[in-house]
Each structure stands twice: as C-alpha cells, then as structure tokens.
Structure 1
Amino acid sequence: MAQKSIDNSNEIRNLMENVVALEEQIQHLTKRIQTIQLHCKHVFLETAFMRKCRKCSFTESTYY
C-alpha cells in the first residue's frame, strides 16, 4: 500500500520562521545577560575550581 503524500510546506515554513525568531530572541537575551554581568559588582562564591557571582551568575574557572 502506497503512503499518501501530505503537503506540509506551509507548516514547515511557519516552523522555520519561528526558529529564526527564537534564535534572534536568544541572541538578544544573551547580549542582555552579558551587559548585566559586565556591569555587575560581583559577589563571588568560590570553590577550589571555580567562582560564581551570586548576583548575576557570572562564572570563571580558578583551576589553572
């Protein structure tokens, strides 16, 4: 029995547009996070291997 072909081109186009919009939103939000972290007066919690700011979640490795 042959499988029927279904035209999903409109749905695919809409999904692709949504993906592009979400990727742009991710870039915007990532830049906002970076700006906040850049201007934060950090309060770090430290371990032997890393430290993380309690206010903005900026992290850096202390394992050299």
Structure 2
Amino acid sequence: MDQAIQLRDEIQRLQELTREHQRKLLALQKNCAHQFQETALSRTCVKCLLTESLYY
C-alpha cells in the first residue's frame, strides 16, 4: 500500500513538472525568431524545435 501511494505521489509530481516545462517551452517558442528546416511534410525550427505540418 505504501509503495502505491509513493508511486501515485511521484506520478503527480512528475505531471506537474511536465506541465511547467510545457509552459516554458511554449513561451520560448512564442518568442523565438524561427529558423526553419523543411521537409516535404513539415518544417521544424532549429532553435526551439517548433514543428509545423505542411500537409494540408
């Protein structure tokens, strides 16, 4: 039982950390002066890794 509670708490902590990192990445990508490298289907910024699909 103790191990299950510890695992649940660790999952919760890691999920919050993931959300925090996602917010930071989004802010970084919004403020980036993008330099895209393109393929036939997508383009990816080499600075912030923002990826956009070119397939419509």
TM-score range, shorter chain: over 0.9
Off by >2 Å, runs of 4+ in structure 1: none
Higher Cα radius of gyration: 1
Using the alignment, how far apart are the partners of 1:32 and 1:24 within structure 2?
Answer: 13
Tell me how far apart the structure 2 counterparts of residues 49 and 12 of structure 1 sit (CA, whole Å).
43
| Superposition TM-score, scaled by structure 2 size | 0.94
Provide structure 1 residue ranges, at least 5 long, that are not aligned to the other structure: 1-8
Match of 2:54 in 1: 62
Higher RCO, 1 vs 2 (CA within 8 Å, ≥6 residues apart): 2
Q: Percent identity?
A: 34
Q: Residue 63 of structure 1: SS of its match in structure 2? A: coil
How many pairs align? 56
